[in-house]
Chains A and B, each alone.
Chain A
Amino acid sequence: MSEPVLAARALSKSFGPNDVLKGIEFEVHAGASVALCGENGAGKSTLIKLLTGLYHPTSGHVEFNGNQEDWSSPRASLDAGIAVVHQEFSTIGALSVAENIFLDAEPLTRFGLIDRKALVSRTEALLDKLGIHLPARSLVDELSVADKQMVEIAKALRSDARVLILDEPTAVLSQNETRHLFKIINELRARGLGIVYVSHRLDEIFEICTDITVIKDGVVTSQGPVADYSHDTVIAAMVGRELGNLFPEKPHGAEAGIPMLAVRDLVVADGVPPVSFEVKAGEILGLAGLVGSGRTELALAIYGAEAVSGTVLIEGEPLDYRSPSNSIDAGILMLTESRKDDGLFLNSSVARNFAATTPGHGVHPARVAIGHEEARARVMKDRFGVVVDNVGLPISALSGGNQQKVLIARLLENRPKVLILDEPTRGVDVGAKSEIYKMLRHLADEGMAILAISSELIEIVGLCDRVFVMRDGELAAELMSQEISEEAIMSVAAAETSSHHGVASNG
């Protein structure tokens, strides 16, 4: 076989004591498109950043056109011919399509001024070549998300690229737009570009990729031509880990409690199908699905932050006027996914953070004694095992896990009936994770209904009594006790529906 255009040779990357990638071997040939698969956190993004020079390898090297390369910056790899379409858009709304595509590479007149005519004509020629129909003079602000993605692709290909890396390019595209993108990718491939395609959607991978490389925990677990794979074998290579004793035991044959939270025909946003389900007292219900499948949006809708229509009932009582503050009064509390932005007062003490939502709890509001917060916080500290010498220290001095414990403890001060947790252990070390799981199980045993969102499959599998897998905003599958496994969740989450992304539902 011919020499690969771009390759990783025994590529490793460590951040401090964490080995993110361990001896990755990866090749892209001209005219081939390689799918890069793996769970969240498997190391895909790190690999891309190494290939393009945003990170430098700890050991091993990147090979481009057969030469060993050590890119000094992403600009260097771009100039050499590696174009990347990032997940986060780098388009600029205030500029036109043409100005975006040729930003800082505008054609100039002999006086060094921008040649507006050439700018537009070169943009039109490029878009024409790519089969993208966009007016070159339109402001990017006025474009749809999909068209912004097209601008991004055109920008990546404004100079002659040898390799195009696409990171989750269809996450924001509709079915037609995805089709169009695939056409463009196939044409580029026919012209001899090497493509690296990162996606969670297996059907897409089987449709447009020629090879597959699967990464798990920083190691390549499987690679080969796409013909050698089926959905199941790809999933099997992506997942599969021992649960160990990280999780508390689930109650066997738990008798169903009364429905604590009921959701009826909740429409989260226009065009998303209504959702109905219940969470029973004593139950931990998991919401699994890919990032962007609508989990957080659903949770926020239940909490009252956003929704179009529908009813939420607590112990059979419908909540009339829905807002977060009404939900809190009714007993629904939510822990959001971004601890630092939404939950913590980083410069305040542990005690102040803990008592923030319930100041003067348990005493007359006019007679809150000095030291009351600290006294309550010391009780909390012992009860939840928060590791801190003094509750008067700023909470920023605590580890992520201990911060999260304080936040959960704070929620519990409001005596919730229903607890919604979005990524409850993000950024938390393994030891603290285990303690948080035990805490949640204990709360459920006491009769609380818990709804947990997590991108870590192992957490959903180990912790939850029942799981809903979300896809494109709907509850695609319900899994009960024994059916809950990483494979089962992944095969639902990564499948495509004919209604939205269904590019290959019949074959």
Chain B
Amino acid sequence: MSEQPLVTLQNVGKTFGPVTVIKDVTVSVYAGKVQVLLGENGAGKSTLIKMMAGVYQPDAGRIVVDGNTVTLPTTRAAEALGIATIHQELNLVPTMSIAENVMLGRMPTKHGMVDRSAMRNRARAALALIGLDVDVDTLVGELGIARQQLVEIAKALSINARILILDEPTAALTRHETESLFAVMADLRSRGVGMLFISHHLDEIAEVGDTVTVLRDGEFVAEVPASTPEDELVRLMVGRSIEEQYPRNAGGAAETTETAEILAVEHLSSSGRFTDINFTVRAGEVVGIAGLVGAGRTELIRAIAGADHYDSGTVTVRGRALPKANIKAAIKAGIGHVPEDRKGQGLVLDASVNDNLGYATLASTAKLGLADFAGQRSRAQAVATKLRIRMHTIDQAIGALSGGNQQKAVFGRWIIAASTVLLLDEPTRGVDVGAKVEIYELMNAITAAGGAIVMVSSELPEILGMSDRILVMRDGLLAGELTAAEATQDAVMTLAARDVADEN
């Protein structure tokens, strides 16, 4: 390639204390190209982009921008060279308006005061770049997570970046929102912007990428064209071939005569969230709930788990009706809830793996108010081994583990609690391919042992691949039910969005 890259990380390395996170990796971003960074969680992608964004300094190697070796001591220095980052974690102030957020740190002023109309206009122009039609005076906190992400993207775009680092920008977006982002990316590409793109959705790589850099355990594995088949990408990434991405033993339990109904939801309604929901789940079944963001799936799951109030209807586990909004009673009846937001709702990040595994059983195993230390610990150790949670010690803060291992710990909590009805909300979000398969195998093991699973997921392939039956929600209603045999991407989407094009 004779063309000079916009930016190159050349043979860079990074260590934190005794741990080498990145070893001798070279990545380049070219004008008008989308470079994809692929690797499991913990492979070093985040560290690499933080070096490019000026957050971390490489311990070895160098950073070259436009042919000149540079140092990027701060994110400001990176921005000055035209490198902007869209972070995985949202970086917005929820109590400020969209306009203020977009222009944060560079608000236009007039006579020393904020020039509000100029600020609004520039923010509107930024939103127009990605086709987001929202009032710029809206508080960011009032937006759903998908729109907040779009605001963040608009903000980065408005800095006139030449090099855009996109760290899993599509993780929280619906298909339609993803499409509009890709349209924006295509537009930017034609304008000569270079992009570094990270995604766990393999199907997106061929769609937007040009070349793919594959990392494994902090080391460079290969650079391949984005058109490389998914199977091959997975093999490069995890270092072994994964026979099946969705190893569902479909029909295993459903065929048996003992199709005992474990969970029954009848006429469940919650004003403004969902209306008259009816369904049952039998032992050994995985029921997937599909739908667009905002269709009421998470709200439904939370109501069943006892996390939120509902107005009417009943939730019955093994013939026994559960009291409303009572998590403790739900847990006692065998319900385990793996919430949507792992870090915000699932885990106490500063606490140890041991503590996090034991919260659901802390009180039930105690004697006279004294925690069963030895018992809790041995149970935690056993389940951590069984689920292959990769960690240094069980006393390590769980926040230091990769997303997949954190999620396995949330599952582990319910396995220790002997839960038989698992309510999973986006169980593989932010989880790498290897850990995904482990989570799917775990779901198989739970259902094989007579458990029942309800899974909400925005990843259609996951819903289609892992569910025995699929319920589709739209605007708080059950729009339809499909069996595994009759479900296709089109069939689900037709039910999920009567008018797909207008749903935003």
Pairing of A with B: no
